[in-house]
Amino acid sequence: MIRTLIEHLFVLSITLFALGALFALCFYKWQMLGNYLSFILAAIASCVNIAIAISVLFNHTAERFNFLLYHAIITYSFLIDSLSAIFILAISVISLIASVYSLGYTKLYVNKRDMRFFGFHFNLFLLAMILVVTANNALVFMIVWELMTIVSFFLVIFEYENPFHRKAGFVYLFMSYICAVFISVAFFIMFSYVKTWTFDFDSFRYAGDIMPAISKNIVFFLVLIGFGIKAGIFPLHLWLPLAHPAAPSNVSMVMSGVMIKTAIYGFIRFYFEFLTPSPPWWGIIILIIGASSAILGILYALLEKDIKTLLAYSSVENIGIILIGIGLSMIFKSYNLMALSSLAMIAGLYHVLNHAVFKSLLFGCAGNIYYSTHTKNIEQLGGLIKRLQVTAPLFLVAVLSISAIPPLNGFVSEWLIFQSLLNGFTIPSVIVKVLTAICGATVALTGALVATCFVKAFGISFLAMPRSEYAQHAREVPVIMYVSMGLLAGLCIFMGLFPVKIMTTINHVNTELLGVNIAHTITSYDWLQTKTLQTNFSEISLKSVTVFGLMFFAITVGAITLINPGFTKKIYKTWTCGISPEPRFGYTATAFSKPFRIIFSNLYRPRREIETTYTVPKYFVKSIVYIAEITPIFEKYFYAPLSRYVLSISNKVRWIHTGSVHIYLVYIFITLIISMLVIGW
């Protein structure tokens, strides 16, 4: 009964997304009507997928569906198990809110461009992500993976007349195809060890037992590079800070919130199902990459003045935090410490959900700012707290969440990451103990830098005086936009106050994935008779923290009132040495981040140019132009030499492109012969 219902709902969601894509194309003269219908159908389809995910998670079932299209070469096989369901839930919640948000945000483009293809690609993008995390066949997976890439490329270059957006789209597409090549090769290697000669994932789950170590290691690195590009790990992050700022904000919400998490799904599916058992050094490599991505991502975010680029680099940092949890889980699993492996995996998956929520909220609020001011440059903002009086507190909730301030959701997952790192000392290997200590220090430093970064993002954008005409004339966005963001802010609070509900749900995933149930060891009851979290090292109740915080606040206010009962608030003008306050007196984003540019100068390699113009040479200054830049070391020292090398090789082999069809047929014939020889061997 449940299986039939889930299958019908799954088909219904696919149908609704397809209808949403078609409706966007059908209304030529009433494009906004077509888009409204398109977004509404996308929202309904997302609700259907939420129902599917909840049904699978709470019924502890795994449902398989096989669809054989007419004259199709392959069977379209799909699987919805607990791991798929948790990602379907994240994707669908963000898709629902992004679809509702789009009803208001797309008014920005009314009468400015053809909107039909936006709704078309948006629906296909949401559908492709759902199909990626449910595909149960390698060929089907690659088909929907490429569909996800192509439709998101068209969304990235939506404002194609801008050269920056075209470059961002090209880099994104190029990196995505490299990603697809590595994943495809990994699939083909695994296919060669499948006795039934099928691309179904069910057969891949037994291939790891018979694969030799060298083949498993090769697949490990192929998967690491392939999915690492999509996730945006350092130094494979090149596309991410380009594509996210170029895409419309409602698309950035989905890309950063959940699209890059499809790579995390790929990591988990491969490393915990297809390639088991795994050696400890695999987890160590993932741990090192995660810690490096976390610290480098936030260091580059600190110096950004474009708010969406800042958020894009922050996504690199959060992917690093997630990989730390996954890497620790792999290490514990290799030492047969299954309970600790499950705890680390809970931490990683919890941060997947948390990041999806607060990063989507941040990008949505950034979209509100752009909608109101038509600029993404933090230096041109200021004073928005008086003009965007609803967006400002929503942005503040997101800032507190990503900065891991209790009792919001970001705190819980990072606290669990720290607990997992502390448990690293139970591993007998000295190298792992030292490494987990270093990673713990790195995560602590990263947390401090994240708080600093988002103090800059909020303070420079919303406080002080407007520093441009854009900020001066800002007005609040349509109601539908900040209402949808309010839902995300509510989720940030809910997931922080009720973490046990989330953890026990994720524990169902781990029970299926790792074969261990730790629900009884990570929960207890506090003085409020509500469930609290506990590990080997500490225990915490977010509801108790909230109650004590409110009590402390009430006691403080009461004490101040008793000490000074006649206290009144007095407002005075700001004293600026007798000069009227001006916007240029305010702190800028550049000035705020300069200490870090000095401290980490070996990483940033800063470059400064000063051009001074005089009315009277050497005596009366007319203007001073100050230009400060940092050196993109990965682009300069890794990608630039690599691209020059590839281009030089391409120039040398250009002679094979003769333009003759006969020669090309010979190439194809030779390739087929070589392929048959390799397969036969």
Mean pLDDT of 355-381: 94
Residue 65 is predicted with a pLDDT of 84
What CA–CA distance (Å, rounded) separates 324 from 35?
40
What CA–CA distance (Å, rounded) separates 106 from 24?
13
Residue 661 is predicted with a pLDDT of 82
Q: Indicate the range of 31-40, 64-73, 359-368 predicted with least confidence.
A: 64-73
Give residues with Cβ within 8 angstroms of 177, minimum separation 6.
149
pLDDT at position 22 over 60: yes
Task: Specify the DSSP class assigned to residue 587.
Answer: P
Q: Where do the structural domains in the chain lie, given as residue ranges? A: 337-596, 600-631, 635-680
Kindly indicate the confidence band of residue 269, based on its pLDDT and cuts at 50, 70 and 90: very high
Q: Indicate the range of 110-119, 390-399, 481-490 predicted with least confidence.
A: 110-119
Q: Which helix (H) or strand (E) holds 639?
A: none
Residue 524 is predicted with a pLDDT of 63
End-to-end distance of the chain based on CA atoms, in angstroms? Answer: 47
Give residues with Cβ within 8 angstroms of 194, minimum separation 6.
203, 204, 206, 207
Residues 226, 233: contact at Cβ < 8 Å?
no
pLDDT (tens digit, 9 = 90+) per residue, 112-132? 777 888 889 999 999 999 999
The strand pairing partners of 306, in sequence order, are 377
pLDDT at position 92 over 60: yes
pLDDT at position 414 over 80: yes
Helices (H) and strands (E) in the chain, counts: 27, 7
Residue 358 is predicted with a pLDDT of 95
What CA–CA distance (Å, rounded) separates 355 from 311?
11
Who has greater pLDDT, 53 or 210?
53
pLDDT (tens digit, 9 = 90+) per residue, 118-172? 889 999 999 999 999 999 999 999 999 999 999 999 999 998 888 899 999 999 9
Who has greater pLDDT, 50 or 407?
50
Residues 396, 493: contact at Cβ < 8 Å?
no
Q: Residue 680's CB: how many other CB atoms inside 10 A?
A: 6
Kindly indicate the confidence band of residue 297, based on its pLDDT and cuts at 50, 70 and 90: very high
Who has greater pLDDT, 532 or 370?
370
558-570: burial string, b at 16+ Cβ within 10 Å, e else: eeeeeeeeeeeee
Say which amino acid occupies 36. Answer: Y
What CA–CA distance (Å, rounded) separates 62 from 55?
10
Mean pLDDT of 52-56: 93
Of 147, 155, 150, residue with least CA distance to 109? 155
Handedness of CA 211, 216, 218, 222 (dihedral sign): positive
What CA–CA distance (Å, rounded) separates 140 from 156?
24
pLDDT at position 657 over 60: yes
CA-based radius of gyration for the chain: 26
Give residues with Cβ within 8 angstroms of 671, minimum separation 6.
none
Could you tell me the two tokens for 250?
């409602």
What CA–CA distance (Å, rounded) separates 274 from 267?
10
pLDDT at position 595 over 70: yes
- If DSSP states are collapsed to H, E and C, what string results for 15-56? HHHHHHHHHHHHCCCCHHHHHHHHHHHHHHHHHHHHHHHHHH
Could you tell me the two tokens for 588?
């800028």
pLDDT (tens digit, 9 = 90+) per residue, 522-572? 776 655 545 666 676 666 777 777 777 778 878 887 887 788 776 677 777
Task: Specify the DSSP class assigned to residue 567.
Answer: -
pLDDT at position 1 over 70: no
pLDDT at position 399 over 80: yes
pLDDT (tens digit, 9 = 90+) per residue, 279-291? 999 999 999 999 9
pLDDT at position 307 over 90: yes
pLDDT at position 448 over 90: yes
Residue 679 is predicted with a pLDDT of 61
Percent of the chain with pLDDT over 90: 51
Of 340, 352, 328, 183, residue with least CA distance to 270? 183
What CA–CA distance (Å, rounded) separates 426 from 282?
18
pLDDT at position 326 over 70: yes
> Has this prediction a pTM greater than 0.85?
yes
Task: Specify the DSSP class assigned to residue 574.
Answer: P
Residue 538 is predicted with a pLDDT of 67
pLDDT at position 643 over 90: no
pLDDT (tens digit, 9 = 90+) per residue, 199-237? 888 888 888 788 888 999 999 999 999 999 999 998 899
Mean pLDDT of 50-64: 89
Who has greater pLDDT, 464 or 391?
391
Kindly indicate the confidence band of residue 71, based on its pLDDT and cuts at 50, 70 and 90: low
What CA–CA distance (Å, rounded) separates 269 from 275?
9
pLDDT at position 484 over 90: yes
Phi, psi values for residue 52, rounded to 5°:
-60, -50
Mean pLDDT of 468-489: 92
What CA–CA distance (Å, rounded) separates 194 from 208?
9
pLDDT at position 175 over 90: yes
